Amino acid sequence: MNPCPICKSTADPAVVTAFEKMFGTLAQYEYSVCPQCGVMLLRDRPEGSRALYPDNYYSFTSKVCLTKGIKRLFRRACLKLYSGQNKFAVNFLNKLRKPPSIYEWIRLARLNSRSRILDIGSGNGLILSAFYNEGFNCLLGIDPNIPEAIRYARNFTIEKRSIQETDGCFDFVMSNHVLEHIRNQDEFLTEIGRVLDPKGVAMIRIPIKDTYAWRHYGANWVQLDAPRHRVLHTLSSFEMLVRNNGFEIADILFDSTGFQFWGSEQYEKNIWLTAENSYSVNPGKSLFSSGDIARFDLRAQELNAQKDGDQVCFFLRKL
């Protein structure tokens, strides 16, 4: 048999059967699970992206809102204080306004408004817009699956192309929930290394399999997402992957949410994400009260603190 592409084990893999439940086709797929490193690999996936990523796929339909004028200037001033890593300034800002979640990324990657940022698989640019709104001035998103290029501002564009078609040198290269969709992960990391400044930071944000949500829900774990997710890593398999490709893990941030619970609970009851009574579509018709969602979110925070949440941001530097 073929060896595991991550750890090269030749031991017989376990097989997990999963069903497509985002759009409710309930098509059946099989994954191989390496008994040594735990990585889960999709065996067969249908060809063509339109069926897997239709126009109503979430990353294409998210609403992008841009801050302008005095408000953006104020936020840029806050960013300058925050990126200076001054503890007094950070404490002052935290009292003045609740910092957006990307501030933790900014801190760990040591970014400032002049940092050159690339977002791979950006969709319509929702995450990059958060950087723009905080005053960043050099933002490029790329995604081969968007209908056409988008120009939000002179310094903020989304291009319809892949990482292989992208040139440049960037201080921060993001990949938010993209790696799990890619079969040839060695090539993907090589391409990130090609466009990343030698002193830059790459952030890979992915679901992680060897955590509470997988142990509890198994094939109904919402972030398994068959067949779009080709590769589901464990912590150890991901560390092997990045070291094999010339990177080291500089920081790890667990950032799972209550989605791991309400999404998986729906899947156990054969309620897909786009169903009329899904919480993501119509909260009022869903199975869950506002109290349920609050408890899910609190439990997610607890799991993150225990390093057992189901998604992780890995911050990588070149070896």
Backbone angles phi, psi at 252, to 5 degrees: -130, 130
**Contact status, residue 173 vs residue 191, Cβ threshold 8 Å:** no
Q: Which of 273, 246, 254, 247 is nearest to 262 (CA)?
A: 273
pLDDT-derived band at 87 (thresholds 50, 70, 90) equals low
pLDDT at residue 64 in the model: 83
Q: Which residue has the higher pLDDT, 225 or 49?
A: 225
End-to-end C-alpha distance for the chain, whole angstroms: 32
For helices 259-268 and 290-305, angle between their N-to-C axes, nearest 10 degrees: 120
Return the minimum-mean-pLDDT range out of 73-87, 135-149, 190-204, 244-258.
Answer: 73-87
- For 172, phi then psi, to 5°, come to -145, 120
Q: What's the pLDDT tens digit per position in 93-127?
A: 666 667 778 988 998 999 998 999 999 999 999 99
Select from 310, 313, 120, 121 the least CA-distant residue to 224.
Answer: 310
The residue among 108, 171, 114, 117 whose CA lies nearest residue 142 is 117
Residue 224 contacts residue 232 (beta carbons within 8 Å): yes
Structure tokens at 271: 């309620």
Q: Where residue 2 falls among pLDDT bands split at 50, 70, 90?
A: confident
- Per-residue model confidence as pLDDT tens digits over 202-233: 999 999 999 999 999 999 999 999 999 999 99
- CB proximity list for 256: less than 8 A, separation 6 or greater: 211, 213, 300, 303, 304, 309, 310, 311, 312
The mean pLDDT of 73-80, rounded to a whole number, is 77
Sign of CA dihedral 202, 208, 213, 217: positive
3-state secondary structure of 316: strand
Query: Which residues are within 8 A (CB) of 292 and not within 5 positions of it... i.e. 6 or more apart?
Result: 262
CB-based contacts of 3, cutoff 8 Å, min separation 6? 9, 10
Instruction: Identify which of 55-69, 92-106, 293-307 has the greatest average pLDDT.
Output: 293-307
Q: What is the CA radius of gyration of the chain?
A: 20
pLDDT over 90 (residue 139): yes
Three-state secondary structure string covering 258-278: CHHHHHHHHHHCCCCCCCCCC
- How far is it, in rounded angstroms, from Cα 1 to Cα 85? 52
Instruction: Tell me the pTM.
Output: 0.90
Q: Flag whether pLDDT at 55 surpasses 70.
A: no
* Percentage of residues in the chain having pLDDT higher than 90: 77
101 class by beta-carbon count within 10 Å (0-12 exposed, 13-18 middle, 19+ buried): exposed
| pLDDT at position 241 over 70 | yes
